[in-house]
């Protein structure tokens, strides 16, 4: 019995340690959401790390049109939240929680 109790004590002391190592950082969580935010990834229109990207280039009425996703690296948390929750012409509306938006913000602002 004592040995069994000891096993459980050791077992439960071991778990938090292991769980901690498997947790991802805020940066990694943000990176994951940026690529796959339950919808089209931000990466497709705003580039690998928010620097902006060309979405499409086409000829309209003989004129070349380049459609771009803007650079969003210096966007504030407030702007980011407002933008993700509002409707746009090209950019989709997302249903992300505040902590998910904060993780994306961390990803865009932290150097790594």
Residues that bind ligand HEC (CB under 6 A): 37, 40, 42, 44-46, 55, 69-70, 72, 75, 79-80, 83-84, 88-92, 94, 104
Please state the closest distance from residue 15 (CB atom) to ligand HEC, in A.
34
Q: Look at the block and give the residue holding tokens 């932290």.
A: 110
Q: Compute the least distance from the CB of residue 41 to ligand HEC, in Å.
A: 6
Q: Mind giving me the DSSP string for 57-98? A: EEEETTEEEEEEEPP-TT--HHHHHHHHHS--SSSPP----H
CA 10 to chain centre: 37
Q: Select 6 or 73, whichever has its Cβ closest to ligand HEC.
A: 73
Nearest distance from C-beta of residue 105 to ligand HEC, angstroms: 9
């Amino acid at each position: 019995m004592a040995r069994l109790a000891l096993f459980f004590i050791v077992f439960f002391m071991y778990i938090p340690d292991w769980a901690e190592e498997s947790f991802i950082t805020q940066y990694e969580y943000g990176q994951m959401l940026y690529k796959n935010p339950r919808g089209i990834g931000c990466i497709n229109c705003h580039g690998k790390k928010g620097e902006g990207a060309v979405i499409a280039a086409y000829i309209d009425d003989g004129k070349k049109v380049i459609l771009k996703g803007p650079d969003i690296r210096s966007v504030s948390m407030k702007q980011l939240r407002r933008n993700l929750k509002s409707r746009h012409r090209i950019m989709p509306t997302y249903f992300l929680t505040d902590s998910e938006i904060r993780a994306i913000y961390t990803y865009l602002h932290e150097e790594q």
